[in-house]
Amino acid sequence: MKIVIIGSSGRLGAALTREYREKFDVIAFNQADLDLANPNQIRGKLSPLDFDVLINAAAFTNVDLCESQPEQAFAINAEAPRLISEICSEKKAKLIHFSTDYVFDGEKREPYVETDAAKPISVYGESKRAGEENVLTVQDRSASAKATADRHLVVRMSWVFGPDRPSFVDAMIKRAREEEQIEAVADKFSTPTYTRDISEMLSRFFDVDVSGGVLHFTNAGECSWQEYAQHALDCCRASGVPLKAKAVRSVKIADMKNWIAPRPVYSVLSTTKYAQLTGVTPRSWRDAVADYIERSYSKK
């Protein structure tokens, strides 16, 4: 199987590239290789290639910067996926496009399922939702292209962490090593998701079509950023990682004066559909974080 991965220098894209290179014929593009804000470059780089699956793991993810750069956000997060979807359909190749829990407004207070209405509250969320629609909506395509587009898949995730680029959990561990007191938001909830687990699950869907074209995948459970950070510190101590801070103090979203964009307060994604399709329940976020810290920090 021939696979193209876009975003190979990012946290998720690097993990996918590393995982799949030993199993498939992989062509990987990082940000320097392919500018998603440049439609001519996208067409020029992808059209000559022969591939079966294209994975788009690239995005403009700086939530606050998106507020001041909406044109760039929509170019990368919405218009690029539209063009990539068209190219994949022309080639009868499957597109797997990653999206986010930020397409929801956070008002539900129970896990969001794939059929819930997306109501983004930030430019980032709006641009990602537009990208989803552009991947899944068929416009002026031939019957064969439409059939291929119907196979495209949008995978929504939340709070992605992994070894290839620092995330929230790495920032908290770094601070805990350097400072005696650290804090994290205690009134915002979602679920951490390990890139190692995403890599393992995704290949199940290379040849499998998903009804509705949308799938949620996270590790199991839910937590606040404070709970997430505290568990990471507890795992570090259990693994012998020296820390100055022992506890994570709580702060509220209202205390985050440097935030520009609004964030959904509750954006937990239900993985019931994934479990029904595969017969597999994702491991808990606590186990995934413990595994990550054991692999990445215990010997450092």
| Cβ 63 vs Cβ 267: under 8 Å | no
**Domains of the chain and any CATH numbers:** 2-158+193-216 (3.40.50.720), 160-191+221-268+284-296 (3.90.25.10)
Nearest to 226 by CA among 175, 279, 188, 179: 188
Query: Residues with Cβ < 8 Å from 159, sequence gap 6 or more?
Result: 101, 167, 168, 190, 191, 192, 193, 218, 228
- Say if residue 113's pLDDT is above 70: yes
Dist. CA 268–CA 253, nearest whole Å: 17
User: What's the average model confidence in pLDDT over 252-259?
Assistant: 94
The sign of the CA dihedral 17, 21, 23, 26 is positive
- Say if residue 91's pLDDT is above 60: yes
**pLDDT in the model for residue 140:** 47
Sorting pLDDT into bands at 50, 70 and 90, what band is 150? confident
User: What's the average model confidence in pLDDT over 225-241?
Assistant: 96
Q: Alpha helices, DSSP H only, in 120-194? A: 123-136, 143-149, 168-178
Structure tokens at 159: 């709070």
**pLDDT in the model for residue 300:** 53
Q: What is the mean pLDDT of the chain?
A: 94
Q: Which amino acid is at 132?
A: E
Sorting pLDDT into bands at 50, 70 and 90, what band is 137? confident
**pLDDT in the model for residue 144:** 52
pLDDT single digits (tens) 190-224: 999 999 999 999 999 999 999 999 999 999 999 99
Q: Which residue has the higher pLDDT, 144 or 30?
A: 30
- Say if residue 18's pLDDT is above 90: yes
Strand partners, 5: 28, 55
Sorting pLDDT into bands at 50, 70 and 90, what band is 298? confident
Please say if 297 is a catalytic residue: no
Catalytic choice (102, 124, 266, 274): 124
| Cβ 282 vs Cβ 197: under 8 Å | yes
**pLDDT in the model for residue 145:** 52
**pLDDT in the model for residue 167:** 96
**pLDDT in the model for residue 223:** 98
- Which 3 state secondary structure label does DSSP give 2? strand
Sorting pLDDT into bands at 50, 70 and 90, what band is 143? low
